[in-house]
Amino acid sequence: MKSILLSLCVGAFGASALQSAEWPEATLSNGVIQTELYLPDQQKGYYQGTRFDWAGAFKNLTYKGHSYVEQWFPQYDPKLHDAINGPAEEFTPLNYTEAKAGDTFVKIGVGVLRKPDDKPYAFSRYYDVVDYGKRSVRQFKDRIEFTHELSDPAGYGYVYRKTVKLTKGKPELVLEHRLTNTGKLPFETSTYNHNFFIIDSQPTGPTVNVQFPFDVKAEGKGFGSMILTQGNQLVYARNLETKEQVYSAGLQGFSPTAADYNIRIENMKTGAGVHITSNQPMEKLVYWACSTTSCPEPYVHLKAAPGQEVSWKIAYEFYEKKK
């Protein structure tokens, strides 16, 4: 999703952009991949915004000496909508359009929020949280199990279970999701992963290559000038400058099957890459990038009647190409 905070993309800055703080964290390792995550906490959590799912906010991830996750933005505030590293997931809101000003609506993975006025929903806006729901976390050496239970006065309710795990003996991270409708009303939403990867601290430019299993077509800001389509690839004509962005509301060319949820992001300079797949088809494929990160954003459509459970997973295989 396109960020309206242009000032967030200003190059590499690292940990110096943050003041020292104590955030709840957890470390995972399978002997191949190492990663640290920030744990959800409504008072002390690293991420307290109302845009992204609080479960599974990553701090870093490394494989074979290559770095894939780091801070991509210069300004940090726990309630800033995109002050979060990838992979970061968001759900479209429930009941926002129907709710009147002053009523509540639901963001899965966040809580019950207050609709302050009649303006359209804006992901970049912070909404007051009326009910954070009930959260629980189970930690293991190679995985973390997050559970979020929530009910809304309008009749929506769910139990959302998300497991972040490292596959035994493989350079693979898997996000497993189960969402059960425990409310009185059916719900329909979409979820996507923003994939804020930064590979080996390299800037966005010709060294970054994004590949799909289909010939990709794209329109939008920067396409045809800063970023180009070449068959099944997106390539950059030059490095993006500070505050420059590219954006497409929907790349085209994919089929309605899970086989096309198959994306590679590679750094041609260092040889490191990540292969992203899912067991669900893409509803749409947004693309956004700034000077620090390139983000394919695949959407999955979800629909559940009361008592029904939907499940999906996303897998990230990390690799190093031979030079």
295: domain CATH number is: 2.70.98.10
- Reduce the DSSP state of residue 111 to 3 states and report it: strand
Give domain status of residue 19, yes or no.
no
Give domain status of residue 127, yes or no.
yes
| pLDDT tens digits, 22-76 | 899 999 999 999 999 999 999 999 999 999 999 989 999 999 999 999 999 988 9
What is the spatial distance between Cα 120 and Cα 123, in angstroms, rounded to a whole number? 10
| pLDDT tens digits, 256-276 | 999 999 999 999 999 999 999
| pTM beyond cutoff 0.75 | yes
Q: Taking all residues of the chain, what is their mean pLDDT, rounded to a whole number?
A: 93
Give domain status of residue 20, yes or no.
no
Greatest distance between any 2 Cα atoms in the chain: 58
Q: Average pLDDT in the 288-295 region? A: 97
Give domain status of residue 2, yes or no.
no
Give the model's pLDDT for residue 20.
Answer: 46
Contact 118, 101 (CB under 8 A): yes
Residue 264: give the domain boundaries: 25-320
At residue 239, does pLDDT exceed 80? yes
At residue 3, does pLDDT exceed 80? no
Give domain status of residue 17, yes or no.
no
Give domain status of residue 12, yes or no.
no
What is the spatial distance between Cα 290 and Cα 27, in angstroms, rounded to a whole number? 29
Q: How many domains does the chain have?
A: 1
Residue 120 one-letter amino acid: P
Place of tokens 């952009």: 17
Question: Residue 21: pLDDT band by 50, 70, 90 thresholds?
Answer: low
Give the model's pLDDT for residue 13.
Answer: 41
Give domain status of residue 147, yes or no.
yes
Give the model's pLDDT for residue 44.
Answer: 96
Contact 200, 193 (CB under 8 A): no
At residue 229, does pLDDT exceed 70? yes
Give domain status of residue 268, yes or no.
yes
Burial-class residue 110 by CB neighbours within 10 Å (0-12, 13-18, 19+).
buried
Contact 254, 260 (CB under 8 A): yes
DSSP string, 46-102: S---SSS-STTEEEEEEETTEEEE----S---TTSTT--BSS-EEEPPBSTTTSPTT
What is the spatial distance between Cα 69 and Cα 60, in angstroms, rounded to a whole number? 5
